[in-house]
């Protein structure tokens, strides 16, 4: 599974992928810009498109509704994108 850290901003998402050449500095830079590392997201390439995307908030945000809303928004974006690709 390809996995990345999800960094949420007010109006966008950024990702720090496991194959990033300098993941710690990228994450720090995004956080310095006001982003919050809220969880992990990944794609399971062998799954159907509507079930391939998995996202989970980090444990420290498990009880935070705002973090779950961000992840739900991200899931919706991915779902919309995958529907467009199938057409």
Mean pLDDT by 10 residues, the chain (87 residues): 90 94 97 97 73 89 96 90 67
Taking the domains of the chain in order of start, what are their residue ranges? 2-86
Nearest by Cα to 24 from 7, 42, 48: 7
CA atoms within 13 A on the CB side of 1: 13
pLDDT value for 2: 82
pLDDT value for 78: 87
Please enumerate in sequence order all residues whose Cβ is within 8 A of that of 27, keeping only pairs 6 or more positions apart, or say none. 5, 7, 16, 37
pLDDT value for 43: 84
pTM for this entry: 0.84
pLDDT value for 86: 59
Contact of 18 with 4, CB cutoff 8 Å: yes
């Amino acid at each position: 599974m390809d996995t990345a850290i999800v960094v949420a901003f007010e109006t966008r998402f950024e990702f720090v992928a496991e194959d990033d050449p300098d993941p710690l500095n990228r994450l720090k830079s995004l956080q310095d810009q006001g982003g919050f590392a809220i969880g992990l997201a990944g794609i399971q390439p062998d799954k159907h498109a509507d079930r391939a995307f998995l996202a989970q908030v980090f444990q420290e945000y498990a009880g935070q509704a705002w973090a779950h809303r961000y992840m739900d928004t991200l899931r919706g974006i991915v779902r919309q994108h995958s529907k467009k690709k199938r057409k």
